[in-house]
Structure 1
Amino acid sequence: MLEIKNLQVEFRNQKVLNGVDLSLKQGSIIGILGKNGAGKTTLFDTLYQNNSFSGNINWQGKSLKRSLVSYLETENYFYPYITGQEYLSYFSGQNESDVKEVTEKFHLPLEKYVQYYSSGMKKKLALIGMLMLDKPVNILDEPFNGVDFEGVHILYDIIKQLKSENKVVIISSHIIETLFHTCDKIAVLKNGRIEKIYEKEEFNGLNTLKF
Protein backbone atom coordinates (compact mmCIF):
# COMPACT_ATOMS: atom_id res chain seq x y z
CA MET A 1 0.00 0.00 0.00
CA LEU A 2 1.08 3.57 -0.73
CA GLU A 3 0.28 5.85 2.22
CA ILE A 4 0.60 9.63 2.15
CA LYS A 5 0.04 11.35 5.48
CA ASN A 6 0.00 15.08 6.20
CA LEU A 7 2.20 15.82 3.20
CA GLN A 8 3.33 19.46 3.17
CA VAL A 9 5.51 21.27 0.64
CA GLU A 10 6.34 24.94 0.54
CA PHE A 11 8.33 27.17 -1.77
CA ARG A 12 9.58 30.59 -0.64
CA ASN A 13 7.48 30.36 2.54
CA GLN A 14 4.32 29.67 0.56
CA LYS A 15 2.62 26.31 1.07
CA VAL A 16 1.71 24.48 -2.12
CA LEU A 17 0.70 21.22 -0.46
CA ASN A 18 -0.93 21.69 2.91
CA GLY A 19 -1.67 18.33 4.51
CA VAL A 20 -2.34 15.85 1.70
CA ASP A 21 -3.64 12.49 2.95
CA LEU A 22 -4.09 9.56 0.58
CA SER A 23 -3.99 5.77 0.81
CA LEU A 24 -3.72 3.61 -2.31
CA LYS A 25 -3.87 -0.17 -2.42
CA GLN A 26 -1.83 -2.20 -4.87
CA GLY A 27 -3.70 -2.77 -8.12
CA SER A 28 -5.56 0.55 -7.91
CA ILE A 29 -5.81 3.50 -10.27
CA ILE A 30 -6.54 6.98 -8.96
CA GLY A 31 -7.03 10.19 -10.91
CA ILE A 32 -5.97 13.56 -9.54
CA LEU A 33 -8.13 16.51 -10.60
CA GLY A 34 -7.48 20.15 -9.84
CA LYS A 35 -7.28 23.58 -11.39
CA ASN A 36 -3.99 24.90 -12.73
CA GLY A 37 -1.84 25.75 -9.73
CA ALA A 38 -3.67 23.35 -7.41
CA GLY A 39 -0.44 21.45 -6.76
CA LYS A 40 -0.82 18.33 -8.93
CA THR A 41 2.67 18.46 -10.43
CA THR A 42 4.16 19.39 -7.05
CA LEU A 43 2.49 16.31 -5.59
CA PHE A 44 3.94 14.12 -8.32
CA ASP A 45 7.40 15.67 -8.06
CA THR A 46 7.34 15.09 -4.32
CA LEU A 47 6.35 11.45 -4.65
CA TYR A 48 9.31 11.14 -7.02
CA GLN A 49 11.53 12.62 -4.30
CA ASN A 50 12.29 15.81 -6.23
CA ASN A 51 11.10 18.15 -3.45
CA SER A 52 11.79 18.61 0.23
CA PHE A 53 8.68 17.89 2.29
CA SER A 54 7.28 17.24 5.72
CA GLY A 55 4.90 14.42 6.52
CA ASN A 56 5.16 10.78 5.46
CA ILE A 57 5.19 8.92 2.15
CA ASN A 58 5.32 5.18 2.82
CA TRP A 59 5.30 2.11 0.62
CA GLN A 60 4.54 -1.19 2.35
CA GLY A 61 5.16 0.48 5.71
CA LYS A 62 8.56 1.95 4.85
CA SER A 63 9.60 5.31 3.41
CA LEU A 64 8.99 5.39 -0.34
CA LYS A 65 12.21 5.33 -2.34
CA ARG A 66 12.64 6.98 -5.71
CA SER A 67 13.84 3.65 -7.11
CA LEU A 68 10.30 2.28 -6.67
CA VAL A 69 8.62 5.03 -8.72
CA SER A 70 8.21 5.44 -12.47
CA TYR A 71 7.23 8.97 -13.53
CA LEU A 72 5.89 10.05 -16.92
CA GLU A 73 6.10 13.85 -16.88
CA THR A 74 3.90 16.17 -18.92
CA GLU A 75 6.85 17.30 -21.03
CA ASN A 76 9.59 14.81 -21.74
CA TYR A 77 13.14 15.83 -22.58
CA PHE A 78 15.20 13.87 -25.08
CA TYR A 79 18.66 14.47 -26.46
CA PRO A 80 18.04 15.57 -30.07
CA TYR A 81 20.55 13.25 -31.72
CA ILE A 82 19.37 9.98 -30.26
CA THR A 83 17.18 7.44 -32.00
CA GLY A 84 14.12 5.91 -30.42
CA GLN A 85 15.91 2.57 -30.26
CA GLU A 86 18.95 4.11 -28.54
CA TYR A 87 16.69 5.79 -26.00
CA LEU A 88 14.96 2.52 -25.13
CA SER A 89 18.32 0.74 -24.79
CA TYR A 90 18.88 2.72 -21.56
CA PHE A 91 15.96 0.91 -19.91
CA SER A 92 15.64 -2.64 -18.69
CA GLY A 93 12.83 -4.54 -17.02
CA GLN A 94 10.93 -7.80 -16.77
CA ASN A 95 8.26 -7.07 -19.39
CA GLU A 96 10.35 -6.56 -22.51
CA SER A 97 8.24 -8.93 -24.61
CA ASP A 98 5.09 -7.01 -23.63
CA VAL A 99 6.89 -3.74 -24.36
CA LYS A 100 7.85 -4.97 -27.83
CA GLU A 101 4.18 -5.62 -28.52
CA VAL A 102 3.26 -2.09 -27.36
CA THR A 103 6.06 -0.58 -29.47
CA GLU A 104 4.70 -2.30 -32.56
CA LYS A 105 1.17 -1.07 -31.79
CA PHE A 106 2.39 2.53 -31.49
CA HIS A 107 4.11 2.30 -34.91
CA LEU A 108 7.09 4.36 -33.77
CA PRO A 109 10.01 4.79 -36.22
CA LEU A 110 12.63 3.71 -33.68
CA GLU A 111 15.47 4.07 -36.19
CA LYS A 112 14.85 7.82 -36.57
CA TYR A 113 16.21 10.64 -34.41
CA VAL A 114 13.80 11.69 -31.68
CA GLN A 115 14.10 15.35 -32.73
CA TYR A 116 11.96 14.45 -35.76
CA TYR A 117 9.20 12.93 -33.62
CA SER A 118 5.92 14.75 -33.05
CA SER A 119 4.96 15.60 -29.46
CA GLY A 120 2.59 12.63 -29.42
CA MET A 121 5.31 10.26 -30.64
CA LYS A 122 7.67 11.52 -27.94
CA LYS A 123 4.97 10.89 -25.35
CA LYS A 124 4.58 7.32 -26.60
CA LEU A 125 8.35 6.73 -26.54
CA ALA A 126 8.61 8.03 -22.96
CA LEU A 127 5.70 5.80 -21.96
CA ILE A 128 7.42 2.71 -23.36
CA GLY A 129 10.58 3.58 -21.44
CA MET A 130 8.51 3.98 -18.28
CA LEU A 131 6.96 0.54 -18.77
CA MET A 132 10.38 -1.03 -19.21
CA LEU A 133 11.38 0.22 -15.75
CA ASP A 134 8.70 -2.06 -14.27
CA LYS A 135 8.14 -0.17 -11.00
CA PRO A 136 5.39 -0.77 -8.42
CA VAL A 137 4.32 2.91 -8.30
CA ASN A 138 3.55 4.63 -11.61
CA ILE A 139 2.79 8.34 -12.02
CA LEU A 140 1.37 9.67 -15.29
CA ASP A 141 1.08 13.45 -15.54
CA GLU A 142 -1.23 14.35 -18.45
CA PRO A 143 -0.38 11.16 -20.41
CA PHE A 144 -3.11 11.75 -23.01
CA ASN A 145 -1.82 15.16 -24.14
CA GLY A 146 -0.87 15.10 -27.81
CA VAL A 147 -1.71 11.42 -28.24
CA ASP A 148 -3.88 10.45 -31.23
CA PHE A 149 -7.18 8.55 -30.98
CA GLU A 150 -5.57 5.15 -31.55
CA GLY A 151 -2.84 5.94 -29.02
CA VAL A 152 -5.41 6.89 -26.38
CA HIS A 153 -7.03 3.46 -26.61
CA ILE A 154 -3.65 1.71 -26.45
CA LEU A 155 -2.90 3.81 -23.37
CA TYR A 156 -6.17 2.64 -21.82
CA ASP A 157 -5.03 -0.95 -22.32
CA ILE A 158 -1.59 -0.22 -20.82
CA ILE A 159 -3.12 1.34 -17.71
CA LYS A 160 -5.41 -1.66 -17.27
CA GLN A 161 -2.38 -3.93 -17.67
CA LEU A 162 -0.54 -2.07 -14.90
CA LYS A 163 -3.57 -2.57 -12.66
CA SER A 164 -3.66 -6.30 -13.47
CA GLU A 165 0.03 -6.48 -12.46
CA ASN A 166 -0.98 -5.20 -9.00
CA LYS A 167 0.71 -1.82 -9.43
CA VAL A 168 -0.37 1.60 -8.17
CA VAL A 169 -1.19 4.06 -10.94
CA ILE A 170 -1.69 7.80 -10.31
CA ILE A 171 -2.95 9.88 -13.26
CA SER A 172 -3.73 13.53 -13.91
CA SER A 173 -5.63 14.70 -16.97
CA HIS A 174 -7.58 17.76 -18.06
CA ILE A 175 -9.63 15.42 -20.26
CA ILE A 176 -11.96 14.22 -17.54
CA GLU A 177 -13.48 11.47 -19.71
CA THR A 178 -10.11 9.69 -19.80
CA LEU A 179 -10.15 9.52 -16.01
CA PHE A 180 -13.71 8.20 -16.02
CA HIS A 181 -12.56 5.46 -18.39
CA THR A 182 -9.48 4.38 -16.45
CA CYS A 183 -9.74 5.21 -12.75
CA ASP A 184 -11.15 3.36 -9.75
CA LYS A 185 -11.27 6.63 -7.80
CA ILE A 186 -10.76 10.32 -8.54
CA ALA A 187 -9.38 12.74 -5.94
CA VAL A 188 -9.98 16.48 -6.18
CA LEU A 189 -6.97 18.55 -5.11
CA LYS A 190 -7.85 22.04 -3.89
CA ASN A 191 -5.97 24.56 -1.74
CA GLY A 192 -3.13 22.09 -1.27
CA ARG A 193 -5.32 19.32 0.11
CA ILE A 194 -7.45 16.44 -1.12
CA GLU A 195 -10.89 18.00 -0.88
CA LYS A 196 -12.85 14.86 -1.76
CA ILE A 197 -12.34 11.40 -3.21
CA TYR A 198 -15.03 10.20 -5.62
CA GLU A 199 -15.79 6.51 -6.03
CA LYS A 200 -16.58 5.18 -9.50
CA GLU A 201 -20.34 5.31 -8.95
CA GLU A 202 -20.00 9.01 -8.03
CA PHE A 203 -18.06 10.10 -11.14
CA ASN A 204 -21.11 11.75 -12.73
CA GLY A 205 -21.01 14.30 -9.93
CA LEU A 206 -17.67 15.53 -11.25
CA ASN A 207 -19.33 16.82 -14.42
CA THR A 208 -20.66 19.78 -12.45
CA LEU A 209 -17.19 20.85 -11.30
CA LYS A 210 -15.01 23.22 -13.29
CA PHE A 211 -11.29 22.60 -13.85
Structure 2
Amino acid sequence: MLEVRNLNVSFKNQKVLQDFNLNIENGEIVGILGKNGAGKTTFFESLYRSVKFSGEVILENQHLKREQISYLETENYFYPYITGKEYLSYFKEINNSKYIELIEKFNLPLNKFVQYYSSGMQKKLALIGMLLLDKPINILDEPFNGVDFEGVHILYDIIGNLKSENKIVIVSSHIIETLFHTCDKIAILQNGQIEKIYEKSEYEQLQNFKF
Protein backbone atom coordinates (compact mmCIF):
# COMPACT_ATOMS: atom_id res chain seq x y z
CA MET A 1 0.00 0.00 0.00
CA LEU A 2 1.01 3.59 -0.72
CA GLU A 3 0.19 5.98 2.12
CA VAL A 4 0.40 9.75 1.72
CA ARG A 5 0.13 11.40 5.13
CA ASN A 6 -0.35 15.11 5.78
CA LEU A 7 1.51 16.24 2.66
CA ASN A 8 2.15 19.98 2.55
CA VAL A 9 3.82 21.94 -0.26
CA SER A 10 4.23 25.71 -0.50
CA PHE A 11 5.75 27.97 -3.17
CA LYS A 12 6.63 31.56 -2.21
CA ASN A 13 4.49 31.31 0.93
CA GLN A 14 1.49 30.11 -1.09
CA LYS A 15 0.16 26.71 -0.03
CA VAL A 16 -0.40 24.38 -2.98
CA LEU A 17 -1.03 21.17 -1.05
CA GLN A 18 -2.34 21.32 2.50
CA ASP A 19 -2.74 18.30 4.79
CA PHE A 20 -3.10 16.09 1.71
CA ASN A 21 -3.92 12.45 2.57
CA LEU A 22 -4.43 9.48 0.26
CA ASN A 23 -4.09 5.68 0.53
CA ILE A 24 -3.74 3.47 -2.56
CA GLU A 25 -3.73 -0.33 -2.47
CA ASN A 26 -1.43 -2.48 -4.60
CA GLY A 27 -3.06 -3.25 -7.93
CA GLU A 28 -5.28 -0.17 -7.68
CA ILE A 29 -5.70 2.56 -10.29
CA VAL A 30 -6.59 5.96 -8.87
CA GLY A 31 -7.51 8.98 -10.95
CA ILE A 32 -6.76 12.50 -9.74
CA LEU A 33 -9.30 15.02 -10.97
CA GLY A 34 -8.83 18.73 -10.41
CA LYS A 35 -8.96 22.01 -12.29
CA ASN A 36 -5.79 23.59 -13.70
CA GLY A 37 -3.63 24.79 -10.83
CA ALA A 38 -5.28 22.51 -8.29
CA GLY A 39 -1.96 20.84 -7.47
CA LYS A 40 -2.10 17.57 -9.41
CA THR A 41 1.40 17.90 -10.88
CA THR A 42 2.74 19.21 -7.56
CA PHE A 43 1.43 16.06 -5.90
CA PHE A 44 3.14 13.89 -8.51
CA GLU A 45 6.42 15.78 -8.20
CA SER A 46 6.25 15.42 -4.42
CA LEU A 47 6.02 11.65 -4.78
CA TYR A 48 8.93 11.82 -7.24
CA ARG A 49 10.95 13.96 -4.82
CA SER A 50 11.23 16.84 -7.31
CA VAL A 51 9.85 19.39 -4.84
CA LYS A 52 10.29 19.92 -1.13
CA PHE A 53 7.40 18.90 1.10
CA SER A 54 6.50 18.13 4.68
CA GLY A 55 4.59 15.00 5.65
CA GLU A 56 5.21 11.34 4.90
CA VAL A 57 4.95 9.14 1.83
CA ILE A 58 5.09 5.45 2.77
CA LEU A 59 5.22 2.35 0.58
CA GLU A 60 4.94 -1.02 2.35
CA ASN A 61 5.87 0.56 5.70
CA GLN A 62 9.02 2.21 4.28
CA HIS A 63 9.58 5.78 3.09
CA LEU A 64 8.96 5.90 -0.65
CA LYS A 65 12.10 6.32 -2.76
CA ARG A 66 12.35 7.99 -6.16
CA GLU A 67 13.84 4.77 -7.53
CA GLN A 68 10.50 3.01 -6.93
CA ILE A 69 8.59 5.29 -9.31
CA SER A 70 8.04 5.50 -13.06
CA TYR A 71 6.78 8.97 -13.94
CA LEU A 72 5.27 9.97 -17.28
CA GLU A 73 5.20 13.75 -17.23
CA THR A 74 2.76 15.90 -19.18
CA GLU A 75 5.58 17.32 -21.30
CA ASN A 76 8.45 15.06 -22.23
CA TYR A 77 12.01 16.24 -22.85
CA PHE A 78 14.30 14.49 -25.34
CA TYR A 79 17.90 15.27 -26.19
CA PRO A 80 18.33 16.66 -29.72
CA TYR A 81 19.53 14.31 -32.43
CA ILE A 82 18.60 11.14 -30.57
CA THR A 83 16.64 8.38 -32.28
CA GLY A 84 13.75 6.55 -30.69
CA LYS A 85 15.87 3.40 -30.51
CA GLU A 86 18.72 5.24 -28.76
CA TYR A 87 16.27 6.76 -26.28
CA LEU A 88 14.80 3.39 -25.33
CA SER A 89 18.27 1.85 -24.99
CA TYR A 90 18.79 4.03 -21.90
CA PHE A 91 16.07 2.06 -20.14
CA LYS A 92 16.55 -1.56 -21.21
CA GLU A 93 17.31 -3.66 -24.25
CA ILE A 94 14.36 -3.10 -26.55
CA ASN A 95 14.43 -6.70 -27.77
CA ASN A 96 12.75 -7.53 -24.45
CA SER A 97 9.89 -9.73 -25.71
CA LYS A 98 7.40 -8.15 -23.31
CA TYR A 99 7.60 -4.83 -25.13
CA ILE A 100 8.23 -5.80 -28.77
CA GLU A 101 4.48 -6.16 -29.35
CA LEU A 102 3.86 -2.78 -27.69
CA ILE A 103 6.47 -1.06 -29.89
CA GLU A 104 4.88 -2.65 -32.94
CA LYS A 105 1.40 -1.54 -31.87
CA PHE A 106 2.51 2.06 -31.54
CA ASN A 107 4.28 1.74 -34.91
CA LEU A 108 7.00 4.24 -34.03
CA PRO A 109 9.85 4.97 -36.47
CA LEU A 110 12.59 4.09 -33.97
CA ASN A 111 15.43 4.94 -36.36
CA LYS A 112 14.14 8.49 -36.86
CA PHE A 113 15.26 11.46 -34.74
CA VAL A 114 12.75 12.06 -31.93
CA GLN A 115 12.73 15.82 -32.59
CA TYR A 116 10.83 15.05 -35.80
CA TYR A 117 8.16 12.99 -34.01
CA SER A 118 4.70 14.46 -33.49
CA SER A 119 3.75 15.27 -29.89
CA GLY A 120 1.61 12.13 -29.80
CA MET A 121 4.49 9.97 -31.02
CA GLN A 122 6.79 11.49 -28.41
CA LYS A 123 4.21 10.69 -25.73
CA LYS A 124 4.08 7.07 -26.89
CA LEU A 125 7.88 6.79 -26.88
CA ALA A 126 8.11 8.23 -23.37
CA LEU A 127 5.41 5.81 -22.23
CA ILE A 128 7.35 2.80 -23.55
CA GLY A 129 10.46 4.05 -21.73
CA MET A 130 8.47 4.42 -18.54
CA LEU A 131 7.15 0.86 -18.81
CA LEU A 132 10.62 -0.53 -19.42
CA LEU A 133 11.62 0.75 -15.95
CA ASP A 134 9.17 -1.77 -14.41
CA LYS A 135 8.57 0.05 -11.10
CA PRO A 136 5.92 -0.61 -8.41
CA ILE A 137 4.54 2.96 -8.60
CA ASN A 138 3.46 4.35 -11.98
CA ILE A 139 2.44 8.01 -12.34
CA LEU A 140 0.81 9.20 -15.56
CA ASP A 141 0.22 12.95 -15.75
CA GLU A 142 -2.26 13.66 -18.57
CA PRO A 143 -1.14 10.59 -20.58
CA PHE A 144 -3.97 10.95 -23.11
CA ASN A 145 -2.94 14.44 -24.27
CA GLY A 146 -2.07 14.45 -27.95
CA VAL A 147 -2.61 10.70 -28.37
CA ASP A 148 -4.77 9.51 -31.27
CA PHE A 149 -7.86 7.30 -30.92
CA GLU A 150 -5.93 4.06 -31.42
CA GLY A 151 -3.26 5.17 -28.93
CA VAL A 152 -5.93 5.91 -26.31
CA HIS A 153 -7.19 2.33 -26.49
CA ILE A 154 -3.65 0.97 -26.30
CA LEU A 155 -3.20 3.12 -23.18
CA TYR A 156 -6.32 1.55 -21.68
CA ASP A 157 -4.76 -1.89 -22.23
CA ILE A 158 -1.41 -0.80 -20.78
CA ILE A 159 -2.99 0.60 -17.64
CA GLY A 160 -5.03 -2.58 -17.25
CA ASN A 161 -1.86 -4.66 -17.58
CA LEU A 162 -0.14 -2.63 -14.86
CA LYS A 163 -3.09 -3.37 -12.60
CA SER A 164 -2.87 -7.09 -13.38
CA GLU A 165 0.80 -6.96 -12.38
CA ASN A 166 -0.31 -5.61 -8.95
CA LYS A 167 1.30 -2.23 -9.55
CA ILE A 168 -0.01 1.06 -8.22
CA VAL A 169 -1.13 3.47 -10.95
CA ILE A 170 -1.99 7.14 -10.43
CA VAL A 171 -3.48 8.95 -13.43
CA SER A 172 -4.55 12.54 -14.04
CA SER A 173 -6.66 13.62 -16.99
CA HIS A 174 -8.89 16.55 -17.88
CA ILE A 175 -10.90 14.11 -20.04
CA ILE A 176 -13.09 12.55 -17.36
CA GLU A 177 -14.24 9.69 -19.61
CA THR A 178 -10.67 8.35 -19.75
CA LEU A 179 -10.68 8.11 -15.95
CA PHE A 180 -14.02 6.28 -16.03
CA HIS A 181 -12.48 3.73 -18.41
CA THR A 182 -9.32 3.13 -16.40
CA CYS A 183 -9.69 3.91 -12.70
CA ASP A 184 -10.91 1.95 -9.70
CA LYS A 185 -11.40 5.23 -7.83
CA ILE A 186 -11.39 8.93 -8.71
CA ALA A 187 -10.12 11.42 -6.14
CA ILE A 188 -11.22 15.06 -6.33
CA LEU A 189 -8.41 17.52 -5.59
CA GLN A 190 -9.59 20.95 -4.46
CA ASN A 191 -8.11 23.57 -2.17
CA GLY A 192 -4.91 21.56 -1.84
CA GLN A 193 -6.66 18.51 -0.42
CA ILE A 194 -8.45 15.36 -1.49
CA GLU A 195 -12.01 16.46 -0.84
CA LYS A 196 -13.83 13.29 -1.94
CA ILE A 197 -13.06 9.88 -3.40
CA TYR A 198 -15.60 8.31 -5.75
CA GLU A 199 -15.86 4.53 -6.13
CA LYS A 200 -16.78 3.03 -9.51
CA SER A 201 -20.37 2.60 -8.38
CA GLU A 202 -20.53 6.38 -7.84
CA TYR A 203 -19.08 7.52 -11.18
CA GLU A 204 -22.53 8.46 -12.45
CA GLN A 205 -22.43 11.35 -9.98
CA LEU A 206 -19.40 12.71 -11.87
CA GLN A 207 -21.01 12.76 -15.32
CA ASN A 208 -21.76 16.48 -15.13
CA PHE A 209 -19.14 17.32 -12.52
CA LYS A 210 -17.94 20.93 -12.45
CA PHE A 211 -15.48 22.64 -10.15
Which TM-score band applies after superposition, normalised by the shorter structure? over 0.9
For 2:14, the equivalent position in structure 1 comes to: 14
Q: Give the drift of 1:130.
A: 0.1
Match of 1:190 in 2: 190
Find the counterpart in structure 1 of residue 58 from structure 2.
Answer: 58
For the 8 Å contact 1:186–1:198, the answer to whether it is kept is yes
RMSD of the alignment, in Å?
Answer: 1.3
- Give the corresponding residue for 2:174: 174
1:91 to partner: Cα distance: 0.2
Over 3 Å counting, the alpha-carbon distance change for 1:113 and 1:94 in structure 2 is: closer
Q: Deviations over 1:37-72 (max 9, x none)?
A: 100000000000111111110000010000000000
Per-residue Cα deviation, 1:132-179 (whole angstroms, up to 9, x for no partner): 000000000000000000000000000000000000000000110000
- Within-5 A mapping of 1:48-197: 48-92=48-92, 96-197=96-197
Partner AA of 1:168 in structure 2: I
Corresponding residue for 1:204?
A: 204
The Cα of 1:209 is off from its aligned counterpart by 1.6
1:46 — aligned with what? Answer: 46
Q: What SS does the corresponding residue of 1:20 show, helix, strand or coil?
A: strand
SS in 2 for 1:31: strand
Amino acid at match of 2:137: V
Question: In percent, how many aligned pairs have the same letter?
Answer: 70
**1:210 to partner: Cα distance:** 1.6
1:93 touches 1:134 (CA, 8 Å); kept in 2? no
Give the secondary-structure state (helix, strand or coil) at the position aligned to 1:108.
Answer: coil
- Unaligned runs of 5+ residues in structure 2 are none
May I ask how many residue pairs the two structures share in their alignment? 211
Compared CA separation, residues 93 and 16, structure 1 to 2 (3 A): farther
Distance across 2 between alignment mates of 1:111 and 1:37: 38
**1:26·1:167 contact (CA, 8 Å) conserved in 2?**
yes
Amino acid in the other structure paired with 1:192: G
Gaps (5+ residues) in structure 1? Answer: none
Contact 1:34 1:40 in 2 (8 A): yes
Deviates more, 1:97-106 or 1:64-73: 97-106
Cα distance in 2 for residues equivalent to 1:177 and 1:73: 20
Contact 2:58 2:64 in 1 (8 A): yes
Deviations 1:97-143 (A, max 9, x none): 22111000000000000011000000000000000000000000000
Runs in 1 of length 4+ with deviation above 3 angstroms?
none
